[in-house]
Structure 1
Amino acid sequence: MNLLTVENISKSYGERVLFTDLSFGINKGQKIALIAKNGTGKTSILNIMSGSDTPDSGQVNFRKGIRVSFLDQEPNLDPKLTVEETIFASDNEILQVIHAYEKALENPEEAEKYQAAFEAMERFNAWDFETLYKQILFKLKLERLDAKVGLLSGGQKKRLALANALINKPDLLVLDEPTNHLDLEMIEWLEEYFAKENMSLFMVTHDRYFLERVCNEILELDDQQLFSYKGNYSYYLEKKEARIEQVAVEQHKSQRLFKKELEWMRRQPKARTTKSKSRIDDFKVIKEKAGQRRKDHEIQLEINMERMGSKILEIHKISKSYPEKPILDQFNYTFKKGERVGIIGKNGTGKSTFLNIITGTDEPDAGKVVIGDTIKFGYYTQKGIHVKEGQKVIDVIRDFGDYIPLKKGRQISAQQLLERFLFDRKKQYDFVEKLSGGERKRLYLCTVLIQNPNFLILDEPTNDLDIVTLNVLESFLLDFPGCLIVVSHDRYFMDKIVDHLFVFRGDAIVEDFPGNYSDFRAYEDSKIIEERQEKALANKEAKNNSENQPKTNKTGLSYLEQKEFKNLEKEIEKLEKEKVEVQNQFTDPSLSGDEIDQLSIKLQEVIDTIEEKTERWFELSALLEE
């Protein structure tokens, strides 16, 4: 069933043509991602679809009677409303029923109103819907329903807009960078949510793991043309290579970046959760593998950065807390040459505060930070770039430096660096105010890199960057010989760039994990399995002990329930093994896009079954303890 048709739309700004005569459709059940370089019209297409912009020609047609929700990068929310009022401001009929019922609960003495509200809840079967929307708000950390929208941070507003879009349960959901401002836990929950919900999606995102696990079709806007790929991100990479080779277009730079990306995809497993339990437990092996990833990279750009002395960065027992919110508690660490550290953790656990303390823009409550005399920081923050009015792109970069020195007397000029980060010579003489949000982030990155630091600190550098730019940045960072600290929710990016992680757990707990993000997820998953096994064993022992007690201690389970309980333990163990076997199959580089899709579906079915049976196991376990 067709939900939306875009027919021959065109858009230009003055002499700058974004696209002409683009056409595509969205059918029920499709989960489509739109991929393109920054500044080539992705957001314009979304704005035209939402009606907030009009095409120069062409039209957008929606199927009658369907519900459509849009998530903008900068949501337009009423600042006077509370979180709860924003949710109930929707025209969703079931939400109105729930709202009326909650109002009736506030005045129980009005029996007629309460009875009418209760009957409406029954008639619309709104009880499950109420549970769903509260779960969504909880997962997106929006528990304070009375908070005013005007007092929320930018990230909280984005999450509220996302919650609003999900709660409306639309037939079609259109999303602009949905994973921005979400921490890793939220992103993984959102992936699972979209996998389970029968919702049609059209999105712009740079999160390649999200593309891999959620989307079943990729639309690429390249040189004002649309190319369709009926598969996920791995399938897109494979088929794009075939298209480039067939057309034989002279795109040496982008093709070289693409092939490097494809090599990495084939060399690394899609998910590292295939490691055996013993290897997950063996930190030394993980560390060796992390080091090997760096050795596998073939250096193309030999940067001649300033020499590092023996003392780099020492952190001595630093503590930091805000009222009722501890961030760090006597944290110690000494950095070595060439270290590449990723920082992960939920929003609000202190990641950015930690970076600010290191760079001196914030002070610890106790302890000290010792920086080596030869260290030159390059600090990319989330605040972005501030430029003078009327400045051109090339002028901005030259304010910070003219070149980056390379070995053997060579160098990269400011112009060449801009070209490497996809600013062609014509674009370099554009005024900065004409740049898109993603292009401004790209320019900001260049201003940090042109200063030739030997210690890079990057706070969410991947936000608003397109996939092509991410490939360029990854390539540059793999060539970078200095120390590196990265805060990012982009798991794909972290897997390629870092060797170990600082995991901010909250409550001033920071763990040092010697591996990348996939290694960490594999380790965490293994702990969950181990905890389940330990719990099962403990319950088994308790059951055996209870059997040796006098018969007066009667179990709370019937005979059939006892039998089911025993079988569940075996079934869950068998399913965990099947899950690992399916995950192992993803490492086969010869898999086609269709085979990857089938494996993804099978894996999700196994995971769902494990969750279902585990939940039942806990139910019976609780009865057993009564």
Structure 2
Amino acid sequence: MNYVSAENLSKSYGVKTLFKDITFHINEGDKIAIVAKNGTGKSTLLKILMGKEIADSGTVSINKDIQVVLFDQEIDFEGELNVEEFMMTLDSAPILALKNYHHALHTENPNDMENALTEMEIHKAWDLENEMKQILSQLKITDLEAKMKTLSGGQIKRVALAKLLLETRAEHRHTLLIMDEPTNHLDVDMVEWLENYLSKAMVTLLLVTHDRYFLDAVCDTIWEMEDFNLYVHNGSYATYLENKMIREDNLNSTIEKANNLYRKELEWMRRQPKARTTKSKSRIDAFYETEKTAKTDTRKQGLELDFEMKRLGKKILELKNIDKKFGEKVLLKDFSYQFQRGEKVGIVGKNGAGKSTLLNIIQGLEPYDKGEIETGETIKFGYFSQKGLTYNEDERVIDFIKEIGENFPLANGRTISASQFLRLFLFDDQTQYSPISKLSGGEKRRLHLMYVLYQNPNFLIFDEPTNDLDLPTLTVLENFLQNFQGCLIIVSHDRYFMDRIVDHVLAFEGDGKIKDFVGNFSEYRESRKMEEGRWKSDHITQKIENFKEAEAKLPASSSQLPARKLSFKEQRELESIEKEMPELEKKRNDILEKLNNEADYEKIS
């Protein structure tokens, strides 16, 4: 079943072209990811499909029998509503049936209840309320009475995500789910839950994401938007990269052949008399087409930097017995750590565990309750935070960077100008002289990253750096960070990014406890799953032993003992033991088998 068909779509903003004459189709069951640089029209394309923007030319046909649902970065809500009330504002028949049922419970009209029960059956709404609570719980929203206006930005986005997932469940009809960066503001556990949910859900999906593990787990098709075109790749992110490389190699080969032909034809053109025959005119037209191909510029600018970093001294950074509390909540308890030269540390943990607080304490931006911090004299921090840039509305991009300095030193002794540095970050001359307020969210994020690096730090601190950065920028940033000779701390939920960069993990495990793990992020997760599996096995073993002890205490059926009837409590205990013992034994054996087989450890949940 076809959901959406688009033919020859084009969209520009002033002189800036986003895409030109692109054609695509979305069919039932497709799960598509869009990959492109910021500013090339990803979000605009989503808005066109939602009817929130209009293409300059071309047609979009959306099947009248489907529903299109959007999750984006802009969320509207009534602040006085609590979480449950916000969830129930869904405009769907099952939600309406559930509302009517709750209303009927508080009235004495039997007709209301009879009608409500009928609606609940028709729309299969009996499990809807429970599903709503389960989804919210998985996204770490447990207080359904909390006012929306009291929630943090991240919590609001998680509630909105839960509402969208409930909407796709509540509407028992064909749905196209459009998602713009759904993993932002989710911790790793939430990302993995959403990944599992969407990969199994019978939905048709179109999403923009920077999380490559998430992309590979959920999507089976990639749309690449580049050079005003849209290219379709079936398969994984790795397949897309291979296809892209082949396409670029073929283009370079075509350009090389055109160059050879162009040189020959150019000589012929110079020898031609002014009066030309019809035959020569045809050859002249072909010459200009060849010239156009030969002069195609395929050079891709990127963030390839090797800057002259300030030398690190012997003393880097040492934290000794640090304590930090907010009210009764313990974030850090007797935490000690000594950073080594060139170390790349990843910090992980649930939202609100204290990760950002630790980053602020390290930089002296926030006080701690107890302990000592020694920072080397040569340390120069570069902090890429979640808060974004502070700028004047009319301040130009180039002026913002020049506030730091006119030139940037490279490792080879040369320097580049602020404008050249901006071009490395894909800011063309026109954008450099535009107000920062005119940049897209992703472009502002890229400018923020550039602003941090332009100050030439030797100790980088990144708090969720992958949020709102496009995949091409992330790929080059990863290459840069892998070769970075200074120290690096990263807080991120992006598992792929962490695996490529970090060699050490500090894991916030709650109540101020931080686990020090040597290895990358996936290795830490593997270790944690193994520990959880052993804990479950030990827990079940102990439960079995408790049941056996309880069973032994029950009166024996023996001729030596006077027969008596079991009490009600004893009968319930016996029935419980008889019912749970086989199941517990099976669970324990399954877990032990998986623990003994390293290949199966990740299946332990």
Tell me the TM-score normalized by structure 1: 0.79
CA distance in 1: counterparts of 2:511 and 2:592, whole angstroms: 34
Q: Secondary structure at the match of 1:84?
A: helix
For the pair 1:493 / 2:525, whether they are aligned, the reply is no
CA distance in 1: counterparts of 2:508 and 2:129, whole angstroms: 32
CA shift for structure 1 position 565? 6.2
CA distance in 2: counterparts of 1:427 and 1:57, whole angstroms: 25
CA offsets, 1:423-480, max 9 Å, x none?
2344333332321111111111111111111111111111100000101211221222
Matched letter for residue 96 of structure 1: L
Matched letter for residue 79 of structure 1: G
Structure showing greater radius of gyration is: 2
- Equivalent position of 2:378 in the other structure: 374
CA distance in 2: counterparts of 1:505 and 1:558, whole angstroms: 34
Map residues 173-184 of structure 1 onto 2, 5 A cutoff: 173-184=177-188
- Equivalent position of 1:57 in the other structure: 57
- Equivalent position of 1:580 in the other structure: 599
CA distance in 1: counterparts of 2:186 and 2:580, whole angstroms: 41
CA distance in 2: counterparts of 1:202 and 1:409, whole angstroms: 47
CA shift for structure 1 position 89? 1.0
CA offsets, 1:577-602, max 9 Å, x none?
8892799xxxxxxxxxxxxxxxxxxx
- Equivalent position of 1:407 in the other structure: 411
Larger deviation: 548-557 or 307-316?
Answer: 548-557
Map residues 295-374 of structure 1 onto 2, 5 A cutoff: 302-374=306-378
- Equivalent position of 2:390 in the other structure: 386
Return closer, same or farther for 1:101/1:217 CA change in 2, 3 Å cut-off: same
CA distance in 2: counterparts of 1:430 and 1:442, whole angstroms: 15
For the pair 1:225 / 2:229, whether they are aligned, the reply is yes
CA offsets, 1:169-196, max 9 Å, x none?
1621100110111111110110011122
CA distance in 2: counterparts of 1:475 and 1:548, whole angstroms: 64
1:520 to 517, 524, 531: 524
Give the aligned CA root-mean-square deviation in angstroms: 2.9
Return closer, same or farther for 1:506/1:377 CA change in 2, 3 Å cut-off: same
CA distance in 2: counterparts of 1:59 and 1:577, whole angstroms: 58
For the pair 1:168 / 2:167, whether they are aligned, the reply is yes
Matched letter for residue 19 of structure 2: F
Given that 1:301 and 1:479 are in contact with CA atoms closer than 8 Å, whether structure 2 keeps it comes out as: no
CA distance in 1: counterparts of 2:581 and 2:143, whole angstroms: 42
CA offsets, 1:193-248, max 9 Å, x none?
11221111101111111111111110000101111011122222222222222233
- Equivalent position of 1:459 in the other structure: 463
CA offsets, 1:351-374, max 9 Å, x none?
111111221221112333332221
- Equivalent position of 2:6 in the other structure: 6
Q: Secondary structure at the match of 1:168?
A: helix
CA offsets, 1:139-186, max 9 Å, x none?
112222222223322212211211111001162110011011111111
Larger deviation: 553-562 or 533-542?
Answer: 553-562
CA distance in 2: counterparts of 1:479 and 1:416, whole angstroms: 21
CA distance in 2: counterparts of 1:221 and 1:305, whole angstroms: 35
Return closer, same or farther for 1:83/1:328 CA change in 2, 3 Å cut-off: same
Given that 2:345 and 2:503 are in contact with CA atoms closer than 8 Å, whether structure 1 keeps it comes out as: yes
Matched letter for residue 319 of structure 1: D
For the pair 1:418 / 2:437, whether they are aligned, the reply is no
CA distance in 2: counterparts of 1:227 and 1:545, whole angstroms: 66
- Equivalent position of 2:148 in the other structure: 149
Map residues 498-517 of structure 1 onto 2, 5 A cutoff: 498-517=502-521
Larger deviation: 467-476 or 418-427?
Answer: 418-427
CA distance in 2: counterparts of 1:63 and 1:153, whole angstroms: 37
CA distance in 1: counterparts of 2:480 and 2:417, whole angstroms: 15
Map residues 462-611 of structure 1 onto 2, 5 A cutoff: 462-535=466-539, 537-538=541-542, 551=556, 556=575, 580=599, 607=603
Given that 1:303 and 1:481 are in contact with CA atoms closer than 8 Å, whether structure 2 keeps it comes out as: no
CA distance in 1: counterparts of 2:326 and 2:585, whole angstroms: 49
Q: Secondary structure at the match of 2:127?
A: helix
Given that 1:303 and 1:479 are in contact with CA atoms closer than 8 Å, whether structure 2 keeps it comes out as: no
Given that 2:537 and 2:591 are in contact with CA atoms closer than 8 Å, whether structure 1 keeps it comes out as: no
Given that 1:32 and 1:216 are in contact with CA atoms closer than 8 Å, whether structure 2 keeps it comes out as: yes
- Equivalent position of 1:127 in the other structure: 126
Matched letter for residue 100 of structure 1: N
Given that 1:142 and 1:160 are in contact with CA atoms closer than 8 Å, whether structure 2 keeps it comes out as: yes
Given that 1:420 and 1:472 are in contact with CA atoms closer than 8 Å, whether structure 2 keeps it comes out as: no
CA distance in 2: counterparts of 1:87 and 1:437, whole angstroms: 27
Q: Secondary structure at the match of 1:17?
A: strand
Given that 1:320 and 1:328 are in contact with CA atoms closer than 8 Å, whether structure 2 keeps it comes out as: yes
- Equivalent position of 1:289 in the other structure: none
How many residues of Structure 1 are paired with residues of Structure 2 in the alignment? 542
Return closer, same or farther for 1:62/1:455 CA change in 2, 3 Å cut-off: same
Tell me the TM-score normalized by structure 2: 0.82
Matched letter for residue 381 of structure 1: S
CA distance in 1: counterparts of 2:339 and 2:242, whole angstroms: 39
Return closer, same or farther for 1:195/1:572 CA change in 2, 3 Å cut-off: farther
Given that 1:421 and 1:472 are in contact with CA atoms closer than 8 Å, whether structure 2 keeps it comes out as: no
- Equivalent position of 1:35 in the other structure: 35
**Aligned sequence identity (%):** 46
- Equivalent position of 2:218 in the other structure: 214
Return closer, same or farther for 1:125/1:329 CA change in 2, 3 Å cut-off: same
CA shift for structure 1 position 547? 8.4
Given that 2:534 and 2:595 are in contact with CA atoms closer than 8 Å, whether structure 1 keeps it comes out as: no
CA distance in 1: counterparts of 2:592 and 2:244, whole angstroms: 40
Larger deviation: 183-192 or 312-321?
Answer: 312-321
Considering Cα pairs closer than 8 Å and 6+ residues apart, tell me whether 1 or 2 has the greater RCO. Answer: 1
CA shift for structure 1 position 485? 1.0
CA distance in 2: counterparts of 1:100 and 1:145, whole angstroms: 20
Return closer, same or farther for 1:62/1:350 CA change in 2, 3 Å cut-off: same
Given that 2:544 and 2:585 are in contact with CA atoms closer than 8 Å, whether structure 1 keeps it comes out as: no
Given that 2:71 and 2:164 are in contact with CA atoms closer than 8 Å, whether structure 1 keeps it comes out as: yes
- Equivalent position of 1:240 in the other structure: 244
- Equivalent position of 1:616 in the other structure: none
CA shift for structure 1 position 390? 3.2
CA distance in 1: counterparts of 2:511 and 2:593, whole angstroms: 37
CA distance in 2: counterparts of 1:370 and 1:546, whole angstroms: 57
CA offsets, 1:500-530, max 9 Å, x none?
1121223222222212211111111212332
CA shift for structure 1 position 409? 1.9
Return closer, same or farther for 1:563/1:144 CA change in 2, 3 Å cut-off: closer
CA distance in 2: counterparts of 1:11 and 1:541, whole angstroms: 69
CA shift for structure 1 position 36? 0.7
CA distance in 1: counterparts of 2:56 and 2:496, whole angstroms: 37
CA offsets, 1:286-323, max 9 Å, x none?
xxxxxxxxxxxxxx854331122222222222222222
CA distance in 2: counterparts of 1:316 and 1:560, whole angstroms: 52
CA distance in 1: counterparts of 2:131 and 2:444, whole angstroms: 38
For the pair 1:73 / 2:62, whether they are aligned, the reply is no
User: Which blocks of at least 5 consecutive residues in structure 2 are unaligned?
Assistant: 256-296, 558-569
Map residues 67-106 of structure 1 onto 2, 5 A cutoff: 67-105=67-105
Return closer, same or farther for 1:577/1:224 CA change in 2, 3 Å cut-off: farther
